[in-house]
Amino acid sequence: MARTRIKICGVTRENDAVRAAELGADLVGLNFWPGSPRCLEVAAATQIAERVRERVKLVGVFVNQPPAQIQEISDCVGLDLLQFHGDENPGSVRSFGDRAIKAFRVGADFDAAVLGDFSDAWGYLFDCDHPTLFGGSGVTWPYERVAGLSREKPVIVAGGLRPSNVLQAIARSGADIVDVSSGIESQPGIKDPELMRRFIREVHDAQEE
């Protein structure tokens, strides 16, 4: 069985990114959506990226932003992957090819057929169907709704994950990657060192047994 990877998202401080890399995280998410309390200026994101480049994959998070702006930020920061967490259409995501992660809010009526519209993407992220927030809600959802999806691309599960439930979420969803933000924070954008350590250790220890 392939190892479940870990994405620490909404990082706003260099020391949090470094700690994530040292503890064994695989991806670090940097948020560029102005509506998020974790939004970064390009200069700050670049400083964070330089501290952990080559040690983790750097993921830029965007919500319904112009492709030209996304490309400019990606070039400046040196992002590996681009996460589209809004209502982006297939054409705008397709232009970024296999660097794109398309996020979906999974409600009771979620139809997996929509994934076919984003077949060029690197992977798919599934989050709770929150009425107003584009991620970072801290709300759990029935993770088993994505358990039967094809494994041709990485399946990323987010939404309400924390040290106490991440193993259950992996078991219920079959996720290839777990994505955590608010579940390891003391306040928005500020990662709690002990919660981060516990989250990563939970996933790693379970796979070493």
**Would you state the pLDDT for residue 181?**
96
On whether the CB atoms of residues 78 and 28 are closer than 8 A, the answer is no
Whole-number Å distance between alpha carbons of 193 and 173:
26
**Would you state the pLDDT for residue 134?**
56
> With the C-alpha atoms ordered 143, 130, 77, 44, is the resulting torsion angle positive or negative?
negative
pTM comes to 0.94
Whole-number Å distance between alpha carbons of 204 and 8:
14
**Residue 76 bears catalytic tag:** no
> With the C-alpha atoms ordered 109, 176, 21, 94, is the resulting torsion angle positive or negative?
negative
**Per-residue pLDDT tens digits of the chain, which is 209 residues long:** 579 999 999 999 999 999 999 999 999 999 999 999 999 999 999 999 999 999 999 999 999 999 999 999 999 999 999 999 999 999 999 999 899 999 999 988 889 999 999 999 999 999 987 655 555 566 899 999 999 887 789 999 999 999 999 999 999 999 999 999 999 999 999 999 999 999 999 999 988 76
On whether the CB atoms of residues 101 and 79 are closer than 8 A, the answer is no
Which entry of 16, 127, 176, 179 is annotated as an active-site residue? 127
> Any idea where the domains of the chain sit in the sequence?
5-208
Determine which helix (DSSP H) or strand (DSSP E) holds 100, and give its type and residue range. Answer: strand 100-106
> With the C-alpha atoms ordered 187, 162, 143, 205, is the resulting torsion angle positive or negative?
positive
**Residue 9 bears catalytic tag:** yes
**Would you state the pLDDT for residue 149?**
83
Phi, psi of 24 (to 5 degrees): 110, 15
CATH homologous superfamily of 5-208 equals Aldolase class I (3.20.20.70)
Whole-number Å distance between alpha carbons of 120 and 141:
27
Cα dihedral 83, 119, 139, 200 in deg (nearest 10): -70
